[in-house]
């Protein structure tokens, strides 16, 4: 029994360490999106200054992490620089990934890549964080007209957000909810609400979650 208990203890310890690292990295991603969204919606800043706020807030959190890692590594006689670099690569790599890349597994058709690149950068960051943890999430077909959206019940102001606005970005996207459990759809809604996005869950043949970033009046 002793070897089995030892193996179980190691498994529990490894799981606990993994959960702590996942939570720490997840927190950085949330700070990145939430910080950017707050500057955009509450302060009325433009897109890229708002992203700068999010990146700066993430950098501050990152510095706090590295300070703790340096102290922990010194006490444990482990290489803190290696762990700092791992965290830095993870955050920087994620930011580029979120702004530029949509996995084929998360898109209904190849044309969605062009559509994804036209999405507002804050929406791309929010969506990439969601898709990072929900690998089965699918962004649905954007080739609908305003009339299509009105027919399935999306208000005209929300429907227009699916097309390029004055800032040259699309402010809305749809995520498929059909053939997914109710609890997963609820978690998806909760995530985007937490991040500051608006969402409307549509049912029927067009079963999807309509997610939008309201147009904000920016300060001169």
Structural domain includes residue 219: no
Provide the edge-to-edge strand list for the sheet that holds 198-202. 172-176, 208-212, 198-202
pLDDT digits (tens, 9 = 90+) for 66-102: 777 677 666 554 545 665 666 666 666 666 655 555 6
Task: Kindly report the pTM of this predicted structure.
Answer: 0.75
The answer to whether the beta carbons of residues 215 and 171 sit under 8 Å apart is yes
Percent of the chain with pLDDT over 90: 7
* Cβ-based burial of 36 (10 A; exposed 0-12, middle 13-18, buried ≥19): buried
113 plus 205 within the same structural domain: yes
**Position 127 confidence tier, pLDDT thresholds 50, 70, 90:** confident
Please give the mean pLDDT across all residues of the chain.
76
92-96, 156-160, 211-215: which is most confident: 211-215
Based on the structure, what is the number of domains in the chain? 2
Mean pLDDT of 46-62: 87
Parallel, antiparallel, or unpaired for β 172-176 and 208-212?
Answer: antiparallel
62 plus 21 within the same structural domain: yes
**Position 55 confidence tier, pLDDT thresholds 50, 70, 90:** confident
Its sign, for the CA torsion 134, 208, 40, 100, is positive
14 conformational bin, left if phi > 0, alpha if psi -120 to 50, beta if neither: alpha
111 or 138: which leads in pLDDT: 138
Task: Report pLDDT for 35.
Answer: 92
Task: Report pLDDT for 76.
Answer: 55
Note down the domain range covering 205: 104-212
SS3 195: helix
Task: Report pLDDT for 61.
Answer: 85
CATH number at residue 206: 3.30.980
CA-closest candidate to residue 210, choices 199, 218, 220: 199
Mean pLDDT of 8-13: 75
Asked which of 70, 100, 130 is the last residue of a domain, the reply is 100
149 plus 196 within the same structural domain: yes
Asked which of 80, 100, 120 is the last residue of a domain, the reply is 100
Task: Report pLDDT for 90.
Answer: 63
The answer to whether the beta carbons of residues 75 and 34 sit under 8 Å apart is no
**Position 109 confidence tier, pLDDT thresholds 50, 70, 90:** low
152 plus 201 within the same structural domain: yes
Structural domain includes residue 22: yes
Its sign, for the CA torsion 95, 98, 99, 104, is positive
Check pLDDT > 70 for residue 111: no
pLDDT digits (tens, 9 = 90+) for 180-198: 888 888 889 999 998 999 8
96 plus 185 within the same structural domain: no
* Cα–Cα distance, 188 to 211 (Å, whole number): 10
**Position 38 confidence tier, pLDDT thresholds 50, 70, 90:** very high
Structural domain includes residue 52: yes
């Amino acid at each position: 029994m002793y070897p089995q208990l030892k193996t179980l203890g190691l498994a529990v310890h490894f799981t606990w360490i993994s959960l702590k690292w996942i939570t720490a990295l997840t927190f950085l991603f949330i700070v990145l999106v939430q910080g950017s969204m707050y500057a955009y919606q509450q302060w009325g800043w433009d897109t890229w200054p708002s992203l700068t706020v999010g990146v700066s807030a993430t950098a501050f959190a990152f510095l706090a992490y590295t300070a703790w890692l340096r102290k922990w590594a010194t006490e444990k006689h482990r290489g803190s620089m290696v762990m700092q670099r791992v965290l830095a690569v993870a955050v920087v790599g994620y930011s580029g990934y979120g702004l530029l890349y949509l996995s084929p597994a998360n898109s209904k058709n190849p044309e969605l890549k062009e559509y994804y690149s036209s999405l507002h950068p804050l929406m791309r960051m929010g969506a990439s964080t969601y898709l990072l943890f929900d690998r089965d999430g699918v962004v649905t077909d954007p080739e609908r007209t305003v009339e299509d959206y009105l027919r399935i019940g999306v208000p005209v102001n929300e429907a227009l957000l699916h097309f390029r606005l004055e800032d040259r970005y699309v402010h809305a996207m749809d995520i498929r909810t059909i053939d997914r459990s109710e609890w997963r759809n609820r978690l998806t809604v909760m995530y985007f609400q937490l991040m500051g996005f608006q969402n409307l869950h549509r049912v029927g043949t067009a079963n999807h979650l309509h997610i939008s970033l309201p147009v904000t009046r920016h300060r001169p």
